Amino acid sequence: MPNIVEDELSRPSIFKDESKLSIDYVPEHLPHRESELKQLASIFRVTLEKPGNSQRVIITGNIGTGKTALAKNFGNQIVTIASKRGINLHYIHINCRRERTSFTILNRLVKTLHPRIPRRGFSTEELLQIMKEILVEKDIHIILTLDELDFLLKREGEELLYSLIRLFDEQLNAVQRLSLVGIMRSEALFRGLDSSIISSLQQNIIRLKEYSAAQLETILIERVKEALQTNAITNEEIKFIADIAAKQGDARYALEILWRAGKIADAQNKTRILPEHIREVKSEIYPVVRKDVLRDLPFQHKTLLLAISRALTTEKAYVTTSETEKIYRVVCEEYNIEPRRHTQFWEHLKELEKQGIITTKISGTGMKGKTTLISLPDIPTSILEQEILNLLGGV
């Protein structure tokens, strides 16, 4: 009798190494970001030559312009070079959207530096001091990247940034052990910060521009070599993908089209990606709502989002919170979880709005009394529902 699992596993695939297209993969070479990498190296040169001189950098740029990839790639390289020179330099990359609050950010930071720290409830102030002590005691220098800083600033303002900048400033001539890299999409948000913060950060701003079609093409060509079998895609199809993604200048979108088109080709037992596969996935991917943003949502938020996508049936542009709450209860039953109380339900809604996935507004005239209306402007409900169902797994 044929073995289904074995057959499936030995079926030929157009992927040579699919992990090279995963959202967390950081390529060793970043085409078209050479000058920015050079800029970072020249900024941090002094930190390597005279450890104790810290630096601060802001990286800005639109979605998918390579901010995260640039910082991580630089971090990997500088740590290797520092260790060859006998400098104890660590690179720590923290995502402020994923960690949510100053407290969790600091907690993560301290745990990275000292994994066996007791799990007692420290305050943010204590965590800052503990971090400082660890750095001094172990003679460590760090480059801390706060990625998606926009979220922290919108949620809590600039206090953490301020404390981090001031951390070693209290004593005169103290060894500066903490360098900061802040990544944000919006430079306008940065301009709105306190003037003392702006002045201490603005010497080094690296602005990443959206990629052109030709630049996306080189990025795709390099990744194709790493991820796909030879001849699995022709130059014409690569150009086609680059042209589609060039509207946003978004490399993530380009790579996701490539990956999904590959999956369809595999599912159809084709040995190469065809233009039709690309057209098919193009209609399915919405670059505005990122897959990793959905993936990182807590379970409860995912179930609420599922309820919202079901409540907003295809004919509806808005749903009321009470309608949504009813459907939410059904979803909770389906997943065998206790529905959250109204106040928490409300907080989760606000959280989804902060993440930019849904929008809410107060109803105008025409409805009985005032109520909040929920809408989903950036992604079709059917596609969101499917994405969330995949993430939640089978019931």
Ligand X SMILES: Nc1ncnc2c1ncn2[C@@H]1O[C@H](COP(=O)(O)OP(=O)(O)OP(=O)(O)O)[C@@H](O)[C@H]1O
Q: How many chain residues bind ligand X (CB under 6 A)?
A: 19
Residue nearest to ligand X (CB): 66
- Relative to beta strand 89-95, strand 141-147 is parallel
**Applying CB under 6 A, which of residues 37, 41, 48, 63 lies at the interface with ligand X?**
63
Binding to ligand X (CB under 6 A): which residues in 261-300? Answer: 290
According to the binding rule CB under 6 A, does residue 78 interact with ligand X?
Answer: no
Q: For Mg ion, give the closer residue by CB, 68 or 248.
A: 68
Write down the least CB distance from residue 165 to ligand X, Å.
Answer: 23
Q: How far is the C-alpha of 376 from the C-alpha of 275, rounded, in Å?
A: 30
Contact flags string 232-251 toward ligand X, x per CB under 6 A: -------------------x
According to the binding rule CB under 6 A, does residue 40 interact with ligand X?
Answer: no
According to the binding rule CB under 6 A, does residue 69 interact with ligand X?
Answer: yes
Q: For ligand X, give the closer residue by CB, 64 or 182.
A: 64
According to the binding rule CB under 6 A, does residue 93 interact with ligand X?
Answer: no
**Applying CB under 5 A, which of residues 68, 102, 215, 248 lies at the interface with Mg ion?**
68
Contact flags string 185-224 toward ligand X, x per CB under 6 A: x---------------------------------x-----
Write down the least CB distance from residue 147 to Mg ion, Å.
Answer: 6
Question: Based on the number of CB atoms within 10 Å of its own CB, is 383 exposed (0-12), middle (13-18) or buried (19 or more)?
Answer: middle
SS (H, E, C) 166-193: HCCCCCCCCCCCEEEEEEECCHHHHHCC
Binding to ligand X (CB under 6 A): which residues in 15-34? Answer: 27, 30-33
Contact partner, 30, from ligand X, Mg ion, none, Cβ < 5-8 Å per class? ligand X
**Applying CB under 6 A, which of residues 51, 61, 249, 287 lies at the interface with ligand X?**
61
Q: For ligand X, give the closer residue by CB, 22 or 371.
A: 22
Contact partner, 219, from ligand X, Mg ion, none, Cβ < 5-8 Å per class? ligand X
Write down the least CB distance from residue 5 to ligand X, Å.
Answer: 30
The set of long-range contacts for 137-140, using a CB threshold of 8 Å and a minimum separation of 24, is 138/88, 138/113, 139/88, 140/88, 140/89, 140/90, 140/113, 140/177
Q: Please, are residues 206 and 60 in contact by the beta-carbon 8 Å criterion?
A: yes
Q: Please, are residues 233 and 272 in contact by the beta-carbon 8 Å criterion?
A: yes
Residues 6+ apart with CB under 8 A from 181: 56, 57, 58, 59, 71, 143, 144, 145, 146
Q: How long, in residues, is the chain?
A: 395
Chain positions contacting ligand X, by CB under 6 A:
27, 30-33, 61, 63-69, 185, 219, 251-252, 255, 290
